[in-house]
Structures are given as structure tokens and as C-alpha cells.
Amino acid sequence: MPNFGTKEQCDRWSDLIPMMTWELWLAREMMVDHPLPWQKPQINLTPGRVAQGFGTIIATLGTPASAPKPRGKSRLLATRQN
């Protein structure tokens, strides 16, 4: 359990944990179980197992951000090559 400095931080954490668990529960339908070598395959995935593979869901969904644009050579790189 994290150590919080203020009551407000504790309240925010207490609000955040159920929302994260609910998000993982809703994502079960999108998840394909890829157990680690020591884990048994599961049919009904737990929130922990969904969290384990949540990165694949995020990679599938993508991001609304555009790709970074190259801006040429940095000054540091240009001075080292001269």
C-alpha cells in the first residue's frame, strides 16, 4: 500500500483503484490469454491477468498523437562530426 502525505491523495487513490479494476474487467472481452511459462491458462481472466497483457490492447488501439517529426541534426551531433 502506498504511503500518502495528505488525506486528499488517499481519497484520490481510493477513487482510482475501483475505476482501474472496472476498466480491466471491461477489457476482458478484448484480451487473449498469453500465460507466462509458469502460469496455467485461464478461461475467465482475472483483472491481474488482463493487466499483464494490457499493453497489447493499448498497442492495438493506437494513440491519437501523431508521430514525432525529424528536425534535422542536433547541435551536439553536428559539432562531434566536424
Residues 45, 39 contacting (CB under 8 angstroms) = no
Q: Is 27 exposed, middle or buried (0-12, 13-18, 19+ CB in 10 A)?
A: middle
SS3 45: coil
10-residue mean pLDDT series, the chain (82 residues): 84 91 87 88 88 83 82 66 56
Residue boundaries of the structural domains of the chain: 7-64
Residues 54, 24 contacting (CB under 8 angstroms) = yes
Euclidean distance between CA atoms 76 and 19, whole angstroms: 45
Its pTM stands at: 0.57
